[in-house]
Structure 1
Amino acid sequence: MLGIAAAVLFFIAFLFNAAEVETIDVFSSTNLMLLGLALMALHVAGIGASFRSGWMRRR
């Protein structure tokens, strides 16, 4: 889930950069890319994963 959010932020940052949209400093393309990288790091670390590793199927 965090990987999808990071991809969306990367896409929005790309659009801001490609269209040369002037925004306030909080929503600049660099800040959006850094936020996307932070979300990707959390995703790779396993935070926000929906997979249960201890779950076993009963017979």
Structure 2
Amino acid sequence: MLAIAAAIVFGIWLVLDLLDTNLGAPDLFNFPTMASIGFLLLSLYLAGVGSGPRAGTGSGRRFYGRRPGRG
């Protein structure tokens, strides 16, 4: 989920950069700020924060007996 949020942040920054606009707040929508937000979200995602439910919580696929694709 955080990787998707980082992609959205980078996408918004790219569109703002391509349109050459700052939305009236040049200190808020600049490269260092948007890059910092995006990299923060990516690092949290890679650290495992917000990665979804863990195994054993009752969600996900269950395989009983022989697992498919194991030859």
Query: If the length of structure 1 is used for normalisation, what is the TM-score?
Result: 0.80
Contact 2:22 2:29 in 1 (8 A): no
Aligned partner letter, 1:13: W
| Structure 2, unaligned runs of 5 or more | 65-71
Contact 1:14 1:29 in 2 (8 A): no
Alignment of 1:5-20 (within 5 A): 5-20=5-20
Query: If the length of structure 2 is used for normalisation, what is the TM-score?
Result: 0.68
Paired residues, what number? 57
| Structure 1, unaligned runs of 5 or more | none
Bigger-Rg structure (1/2): 2
Percent identity over the alignment is 32
Cα RMSD (Å): 2.0
Q: Distance in 1 between matches of 2:29 and 2:16?
A: 9
The structure richer in helix per residue is: 1
